[in-house]
Structure 1
């Protein structure tokens, strides 16, 4: 749970910190084998039934944080197996991005209805009366559910006057809007990668921290250590993510990590807004019934997988991340660009062949927090920078919250054509996004601009965020007030848009998911 410091948060932070320290210090890479003992010291387990199990899980998490695959459970091998392959300053994510450490999985029940101790054994027992399958009986004065008869309809739950009956579902499966998680032969969670869009909501929801995504912390630091100029492209959702780090210290704080400078992805959001506004004005409704925004990769991949016949109605505008990367490399051709944001799916987007030259690495805020810890950066000691991060609009920074993308595009359309009416529909969370597109396919949203966000609440609730999403949304609103101007069409970089769009052949981008 974002915004809550728990044992899960603590271990994740320790993993990222140790990998970052490992990269910054360099030297003897054989020390990798010792890291589980440094993270889980002593002889007595703290979180699970065995300290050996705890260390084994930490070992696999360390491998994934290095960008390495999980080791087969059935074969004996040191956790450093293949680690040399990740000790480089450039590495594309190898699929799968989202992984389940099987022996960390709690084997949660997929779905079940449970009578709790709150049952009062009441005279009316409405639960037995409403059950359509006769699955509930009274045993020793309490309601009892026969799991073989129960169809999980939940009628008994709604009928109980004491709220003593609850419906449970595996947390990761409940969070997955793509219905990509099921049980394997041993009852452990398993991912159907044909359905998965790498949104990371399962990762956030698993209370046992059995689901983990791969990282490029080590490779990013290796690139920094190489002397190559490395620019941090920070997403708008950065507002309020690092406690004690105000916006006027962000640049110098990232320089303390070794980055050459910071660029703001809200600049790319402005360019994306202008492009989508023009596309909508030209295409809807003359050439297509509606248009969907493109900036959320999990949303757009979901649409292409689930509704391939309406995939062409998703805007072909490049995402803010890609536009920012291209703009940065246009200024500094020999640099590396690291996208730093809230999103696990951005890691998958950056690994596409057509985008690898624009964005070299993707890190989440949570991973960067490990870098700050490894370098022992004291935010109080960081100097204030009087210069703004960049010249971005308030609308561009608003991309971080649900509804913000559509609002920015509508504002741009009204600026370009004040008489144009634009109808908008938006959804947050992939299950709601699926419903939105299903209705659009049925013709319910003809003439509309559709916005989809895979994470409930928008980017501020992404899998790689640190702060509470509601608090983050408020911080984004504050950052909008600090912007240089209000609307995206006023961006000083608008003349670069056609150049950035045509720098590469976009045919491959259309083919790839």
Structure 2
């Protein structure tokens, strides 16, 4: 049984599944316009005011699922779905006592507050949403209704336009996907590359020289609760992937390089979270030289694969929407050919009729316990510390572990002013780390515990061991193929 956190996620899944199903049958080009009717059969609406509006919104989701290229960024707004949130940011509650001091009126520089039967009233036409009235009221009778997408965006990339619709400033957006997960009405949507993956797998089926590899984020162990991790790996192979490799192996490589770079520079921030890196670049350009120069674990794993199999195609599968942004950056060296989230992988399984829980398990054991721990907050620091100790580096690690974007905003501000007092910032945009990613099927308190258990099951208990084994394995494969 598939579990989703919200009905919005389930709707997204249904759209993706239908896109894959029609593509598999060769009917997508002519049949995609039927998907809204398939998902919203009617005659009565179940989510909105009428089935016609529901279908119009699903139509926009179909476009995103097919990788529509019209949007500027990875995340976009479905305007027709964005109108249910409160349009007036500040309002007066029944707690207003109609006092004589009128401090709220005195605090408002726009004359937006008047009185009706001694109760304060806010004129939405005059209100500029400065919030001074709320702070001035001695009874806390004025409250703020901040939209979930705005409240959840640490990058302050979302604002409200004249039509009261959300709008994204792509110069500030970090593609973290928090707004996608936060919007209760499903008005925020991320572009999917699922059809690109289907096409890669189709190419591999007709051409045995084409090998499509899956690089699996360690957070995968927290998902697909109806099956074992070995069955999920087997399901990926049944889809047509040549082989699965742990992104945690790339994390081991990153841990080695970051420990050495930190020892050289004396101060460093992590580079594995692309949303964190983007936030630093936009908001603290003075700290850019201190971002680790290493590529992310995803890219490191892919580079190992393409070193041994130069014609390989590599798909990253993980919890992260911002990886879709990262693979388009020049610094990724074209190592990753496409990205799937866990949500999209589930849709791919079902659209291709792969019954994961019926399969025999496939083994996967590429990385160390420390590489796998990258999936949770504190894992990067733990791995770097392990390398410092194993290699005897001349370094006393004094980290600032930032659990979520609101946490690293504070740490980076202090660092920019020279007041942090730490020498390593581990930055993760999602609370709890990658296990809290917007592309997850489910989130929960047990996710971190599952990653820790998965980490302990790794056969390699030291970073250097897994890196050495991987280099030997991939070198042997390269020699065998040459």
Residue 208 of structure 1 is aligned with which of 162, 185, 194?
185
**Residues 133 and 230 (structure 1), Cα distance of their counterparts in 2 relative to 1, 3 Å cut:** same
Give CA deviations for 1:121-177 in whole Å, capped at 9, x if unaligned.
779x799778863888886697755665774254478845xxx76421011111111
Aligned to 2:244, the other structure's residue is in SS state strand
Question: Which residue of structure 2 lines up, in the alignment, with residue 73 of structure 1?
Answer: none
Question: Which residue of structure 1 lines up, in the alignment, with residue 391 of structure 2?
Answer: 416
Residue 307 of structure 1 is aligned with which of 269, 276, 284?
284
Question: Which residue of structure 2 lines up, in the alignment, with residue 464 of structure 1?
Answer: 439
**Residues 142 and 494 (structure 1), Cα distance of their counterparts in 2 relative to 1, 3 Å cut:** farther
How far residue 223 of structure 1 moved from its aligned partner, in angstroms, is 1.1
How far residue 254 of structure 1 moved from its aligned partner, in angstroms, is 1.1
Question: Which residue of structure 2 lines up, in the alignment, with residue 89 of structure 1?
Answer: none
Question: Which residue of structure 1 lines up, in the alignment, with residue 465 of structure 2?
Answer: 490
Mapping of residues 88-103 of structure 1, within 5 Å:
95-103=72-80
Question: Which residue of structure 2 lines up, in the alignment, with residue 236 of structure 1?
Answer: 218
Establish whether residue 404 from structure 1 lines up as the match of residue 379 from structure 2. yes
Q: Tell me which moved more, 135-144 or 195-204.
A: 135-144
In 2, the alpha carbon distance for the partners of 1:406 and 1:365 equals 25
Question: Which residue of structure 2 lines up, in the alignment, with residue 444 of structure 1?
Answer: 419
Q: May I ask how many residue pairs the two structures share in their alignment?
A: 462
Mapping of residues 128-139 of structure 1, within 5 Å:
133=107
In 1, the alpha carbon distance for the partners of 2:97 and 2:197 equals 62
In 2, the alpha carbon distance for the partners of 1:430 and 1:157 equals 31
Cα contact 2:113–2:122 (8 A) shared by 1: yes
Establish whether residue 256 from structure 1 lines up as the match of residue 238 from structure 2. yes
**Residues 297 and 158 (structure 1), Cα distance of their counterparts in 2 relative to 1, 3 Å cut:** farther
In 2, the alpha carbon distance for the partners of 1:127 and 1:181 equals 36
Establish whether residue 17 from structure 1 lines up as the match of residue 20 from structure 2. no
Question: Which residue of structure 2 lines up, in the alignment, with residue 112 of structure 1?
Answer: 89
TM-score normalised by L of structure 1: 0.82
Cα contact 2:228–2:357 (8 A) shared by 1: no
TM-score normalised by L of structure 2: 0.87
Aligned to 1:452, the other structure's residue is in SS state strand
Cα contact 1:66–1:218 (8 A) shared by 2: yes
In 2, the alpha carbon distance for the partners of 1:356 and 1:187 equals 40
Establish whether residue 368 from structure 1 lines up as the match of residue 350 from structure 2. no
Return 5+ residue gaps in structure 2 as ranges. 205-209, 476-482
Cα contact 1:322–1:358 (8 A) shared by 2: yes
How far residue 323 of structure 1 moved from its aligned partner, in angstroms, is 0.6
Residue 152 of structure 1 is aligned with which of 131, 152, 162?
131
**Residues 3 and 441 (structure 1), Cα distance of their counterparts in 2 relative to 1, 3 Å cut:** farther
Cα contact 2:22–2:28 (8 A) shared by 1: no
Cα contact 1:127–1:155 (8 A) shared by 2: no
Cα contact 1:120–1:142 (8 A) shared by 2: no
Residue 159 of structure 2 is aligned with which of 182, 185, 204?
182
In 1, the alpha carbon distance for the partners of 2:101 and 2:33 equals 55
In 2, the alpha carbon distance for the partners of 1:395 and 1:307 equals 29
Q: CA RMSD in A?
A: 2.9
Question: Which residue of structure 1 lines up, in the alignment, with residue 449 of structure 2?
Answer: 474
In 2, the alpha carbon distance for the partners of 1:370 and 1:475 equals 23
In 2, the alpha carbon distance for the partners of 1:139 and 1:114 equals 14
Higher helix residue share: 2
